[in-house]
Structure 1
Amino acid sequence: MGGWVGALAVGIGKMGVLSFLLEVVMAVARVERLDDKGRGVARVEGKVVFIEGALPEELVRFSVVEEKRRFARAQLMEVMAPSALRVVPPCPLYVRCGGCDLQHLQVSEQRAYKQSQWLAQLARLGGVVPERVGAPLFGEAWEYRYRARLAVVDGVMGFRTRGGHDVVAVLDCLVLTQALRGVLPEVALVVAQIGGCVEVELHAGDEGVAVGLRLAQGVDVVAVARRVEAMAIEGVAWWLALGRGDFYPLAGVLDEQMAKTAFLLRYGLLQKALEIEFSPNDFTQVNREVNRLMVEKVIELLALEAGDEVVDFFCGLGNFSLPLAYLGTQVVAVEGVESMTRKLKRQARMLGLSKRVRVECVDLFKPSREAIRRWGQVDKWLLDPPRAGAKALIEKMGRERPSRVVYVSCNPATLARDAGLLVARGYVLQEALMMDMFVQTAHIECVAVFELGG
């Protein structure tokens, strides 16, 4: 059947357009497995076809939407023989909305799929197999998201369509926490009325909600601020940003002195013994429950002893640094974004932890060998890099290096690559585990523990 799209010009000359499309573009296949994006994978005449929404063992009818030399992307048209693992997605927008991609698969099977997927990538891309696979960390399947970003097109707020750029209007979302679900309709109404908004960020703290409105360049920010102020929503703190700039509190836009007293959100750790402040400009984990479990697990995996010191790379606001310091550990907190280091210093000071947290601002994608040697004298490292991973940091390791490295990853592919680099430098992957931070999606996060010399 090869060359579905490429053969179109030839086919049209031999038969009517409709019959040609039905015969050539439409096809039937048995799905073999899921890929790393949660798509069904089938083979038709030797070519791999990725079918979004299809599950393993299903017999499906599909339509090709893009064909390359070695693979094709297809749209699921009909499930002719459904899997026993298939469920009816509870969200009425699921067919079109691109926010979730696994609602049609039982939650327990989503986790089984993710478990096998990241282990396979670890072995295939990094050539590494952990000595022990730990129990996965997971929380609730619904109402778990404390943060979300929505697009706005022509005053309509929502998520992008599946595989497209249009917007699906969203007035409710089953994966958002109850606090965010409750304000969605009113926020959508404000966005529709003010004009000039191109993106909305929703942030929930343990108490309170902040909504960030990103405005198009050239929009009169003060005029928008006054319109938003007139449409206040109880329990919502408004923030505004122009273009790709930072968010500023609404009161601060109207009165510069008020910016210093902006309402900040908070989330608790260590059974809420410790509270961390944040604003819409700061990165925080989407899943508050799994984040809490992750912090506790990482502290356990560091195997801390009296007098231990930890270097926390890519430390951000101190999601790990502050709990470690609170528990008595000396921490070197390293972050490449200067604004984040300033906020971390401030929070450490407010919490009375300044003597236990030494903050350094260093570009960790271009670390100096002198800095690597200095950090190498600390016996335990914690890595929590962005999706790009920590390749530069690991490659510059010298003779002085930590005995234990705990690596928190949001990208199994770069974790696999970096695991291979660490093993080549004498480390053994002692334990690794999966975290289901984004339920109903194919996104996977992991924690891995490396011990020097076994």
Structure 2
Amino acid sequence: MIANLKVIAPLYGGMGLAREDGTYFVKGAIPEETVEARVVEKKRDYTVAETVSLVQSSPFRIDPPCPVFGQCGGCHYQFIEYDKQLIMKQEIICDCLKRIGKQSDIPFEDALFGEPFGYRKRAQFKIVNGLIGFFRENSHEIIQFNECLLLCDELNNVYKHLRNIDLPPGIRDITFTSGDSVVAHFGGSSIDESFCQMLLSDNIIHGYTTDDGKKNGLEYSRFPMGNLQYTASSQGFLQSNWALNIKIAEFIYESYTSIIAGNEMSEHENVSKGKMKRLIDIFGGAGNFSLSLSSLFKEILIIEENGYSITDGIRNTQLNNIRNIEFHHSTSDDFRFPGTASAIIVDPPRVGMTNRTIEKIRKLAPQHIFYISCNPATFSRDILKLTDMYNLSTVRLIDMFPQTYHCEIFSRFELK
């Protein structure tokens, strides 16, 4: 069935919203375009459709630069001018905050963004029947390519090498991390270590680990972080758009510096001698944000579930001679929070925070909360449970993943 549809708004997930004898979620269309779309699936409350031809095209439509765009499942927005991508993502965030979070006056700041291509420092390549690449969207079919426009040069060079050699059976996927060196993790039930050793000997990679516990060479890669050193192993968390991650860390640092300068010796803020008392960093990884904040707090507690990130984080504090950060290998639900905290940073996965974690934060009642989210819907759901106690003072789009529908949200809350 073919429907003639006018798209009126962007939707999270790479779709566009249309209303024509019902509600349609349309793939491959830009707001204000009229398209002919093929019905793919009928749901209870809406119909999913896919653009097959343009009736009225948007001035923001461009030719996607990647020859496998539309086949590979990695990108969603390459056919849209980048400035328009930013506008669409901000509209999606705004809609979620109004519709789910019940926010009427949203304190948006200018979007924070970096390079639209070549930004990824980590990638996982899938392997099926000797072919290596990325999955086609919603399938396990391998899509191969000459280069991925989102990856840094080092990762593209590794991929080109692997595509042109015979791959042994038993490897399901390979995750590469590229900082000052390239380290790899091989996933699968039966890893041929001689293959890993060959890549190491040929200087394609500089270290590896495997699912079955084998390892050789470097265990981590280093990344610049101002005057600090940051390390990440292939199994620990790394924000793959590292350049933009640095900008977020700088923004948080500047925010806390401003808070301290404005509240020196305030009993309410627990600020003394240029430092706040305690920061709790929930889902804190290997110190992604907290390392650079260590000079502003007397004590920082990082709660993290990933044991590899804990190992990376302890290494990071040792390399930088930081002694006031404690790592706790725990879920936020299970962690026993201390009695007080000056501030909290929370950077949860896409599912957002649990009710139990939110209740713990409410009971602690820190003066400041910085919430970094990668899902506008769960972010909006969570803040609805905070805004009776807190004022939402800042919302900012962080375009961590250009050319995709994914977006990060930076927000700041102040205790009423």
Structure 1 residue 41 displacement after superposition: 2.2
User: Do the aligned partners of 2:279 and 2:297 also contact (CA within 8 Å) in 1?
Assistant: no
1:381 aligned onto 2:344: yes
Structure 1 residue 275 displacement after superposition: 1.0
The structure with more radius of gyration? 1
TM-score for the superposition, normalised by structure 1 = 0.82
1:262 aligned onto 2:226: no
Matching residue of 1:365: 333
- Unaligned residue ranges in structure 1 (runs of 5+): 1-24, 252-260
Matching residue of 1:402: 366
Residues 130-160 of structure 1, C-alpha deviation per residue, up to 9 Å, x if partnerless?
6521221110011011111222111111111
Structure 1 residue 287 displacement after superposition: 0.5
RMSD across aligned positions (CA): 2.1
1:51 aligned onto 2:26: yes
Matching residue of 1:286: 240
Structure 1 residue 263 displacement after superposition: 4.2
Residues 194-238 of structure 1, C-alpha deviation per residue, up to 9 Å, x if partnerless?
222211212111x222233222x2x2x3xx111342354435235
Matching residue of 1:117: 92
Q: 1:445 to 1:71 in 2, by over 3 A?
A: same
Looking at structure 1, the residues matched to 401 and 138 of structure 2 have their Cα atoms a distance apart, in angstroms, of 19
1:296 aligned onto 2:259: no
Query: Structure 2: which amino acid aligns with 1:264?
Result: Y
1:445 aligned onto 2:408: yes
Q: 1:310 to 1:396 in 2, by over 3 A?
A: closer
Matching residue of 2:43: 68
**SS state of the match for residue 359, structure 1?**
strand
In the TM superposition, what are the counterparts of 1:326-337 in structure 2 within 5 Å? 326=295, 330-337=299-306
Q: 1:143 to 1:359 in 2, by over 3 A?
A: same
**SS state of the match for residue 193, structure 1?**
coil
Quick check: which one's helix share is greater? 1
Q: 1:92 to 1:337 in 2, by over 3 A?
A: closer
User: Do the aligned partners of 2:229 and 2:319 also contact (CA within 8 Å) in 1?
Assistant: no
184, 187, 192: which one aligns with 1:211: 184
In the TM superposition, what are the counterparts of 1:202-241 in structure 2 within 5 Å? 202-205=176-179, 207-215=180-188, 217=189, 219=190, 221=191, 224-231=192-199, 232-241=201-210
Q: 1:194 to 1:390 in 2, by over 3 A?
A: same
In the TM superposition, what are the counterparts of 1:41-190 in structure 2 within 5 Å? 41-45=17-21, 47-129=22-104, 132-190=107-165
User: Do the aligned partners of 1:157 and 1:170 also contact (CA within 8 Å) in 2?
Assistant: no
Looking at structure 1, the residues matched to 363 and 6 of structure 2 have their Cα atoms a distance apart, in angstroms, of 52
User: Do the aligned partners of 1:128 and 1:419 also contact (CA within 8 Å) in 2?
Assistant: no
Structure 1 residue 440 displacement after superposition: 0.1
291, 294, 315: which one aligns with 2:284: 315
Structure 1 residue 283 displacement after superposition: 0.8
Looking at structure 2, the residues matched to 130 and 239 of structure 1 have their Cα atoms a distance apart, in angstroms, of 49
User: Do the aligned partners of 2:133 and 2:144 also contact (CA within 8 Å) in 1?
Assistant: yes
Judge which range, 432-441 or 400-409, deviates more. 400-409
- Unaligned residue ranges in structure 2 (runs of 5+): 261-273
Looking at structure 1, the residues matched to 295 and 360 of structure 2 have their Cα atoms a distance apart, in angstroms, of 31
User: Do the aligned partners of 1:152 and 1:198 also contact (CA within 8 Å) in 2?
Assistant: yes
User: Do the aligned partners of 2:207 and 2:219 also contact (CA within 8 Å) in 1?
Assistant: no
Looking at structure 2, the residues matched to 341 and 263 of structure 1 have their Cα atoms a distance apart, in angstroms, of 14
Structure 1 residue 436 displacement after superposition: 0.1
1:347 aligned onto 2:322: no
Q: Aligned residues: percent identity?
A: 28
Looking at structure 1, the residues matched to 402 and 230 of structure 2 have their Cα atoms a distance apart, in angstroms, of 24
User: Do the aligned partners of 1:128 and 1:429 also contact (CA within 8 Å) in 2?
Assistant: no
Matching residue of 1:417: 381
**SS state of the match for residue 61, structure 1?**
strand
Give every structure 1 segment of 4 or more consecutive aligned residues whose post-TM-superposition deviation is greater than 6 Å.
Answer: none
